[in-house]
């Protein structure tokens, strides 16, 4: 099934499938009702230490991708839980980052082989 990514601030769409926030922290200024989420999978988000290190710095993008993939490989139960949710209906991974080209949802989508 399809796996899409988009900012959590974008409105729900019929094509979204299961809406899954993949940030460890809830996004500012948005209620859970307005976000229309189905399940929040914090455990597939980058660790707090990795998130702070990256700090959305495009100069660190290449290394961030490798470090995040390494974290995902060391967390197979969270990755499998995510795969179970997307397998039947398709899904949209929701992220809060403003940078559309350098965010962990892109890495996660590629890691799952769904880009």
Q: Give the model's pLDDT for residue 50.
A: 98
pLDDT per residue over 31-71, tens digit each? Answer: 988 999 999 999 999 999 999 999 999 999 999 999 999 99
Contacts of 16 (CB under 8 A, 6+ apart): 4, 6, 91, 92
Average pLDDT over residues 88-95: 89
Q: Which stretches within 2-113 are classed as H helix?
A: 32-35, 48-54, 61-73, 76-87, 104-111
Count CB atoms within 10 A of the CB of residue 93.
Answer: 27
CA atoms within a 13 Å half-sphere pointing along the CA-CB vector of 41: 25
Q: Is 0.85 topped by the overall pTM?
A: yes
Asked if 44 contacts 79 with a C-beta cutoff of 8 angstroms, the reply is yes
* Residue 115 reports pLDDT greater than 50: no
């Amino acid at each position: 099934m399809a796996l899409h990514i988009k900012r959590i601030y974008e409105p729900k769409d019929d094509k979204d499938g299961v809406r899954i926030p993949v940030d460890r922290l809830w996004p500012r200024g948005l209620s859970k009702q307005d976000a229309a989420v189905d399940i929040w999978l914090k455990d597939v988000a980058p660790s707090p230490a990795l998130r702070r290190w990256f700090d959305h710095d495009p100069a660190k993008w290449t290394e961030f991708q490798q470090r995040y993939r390494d974290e995902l490989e060391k967390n197979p139960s969270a990755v499998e839980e995510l795969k179970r949710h997307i397998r039947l209906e398709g899904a949209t991974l929701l992220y809060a980052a403003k940078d559309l080209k350098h965010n962990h949802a892109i890495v996660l989508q590629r890691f799952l082989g769904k880009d």
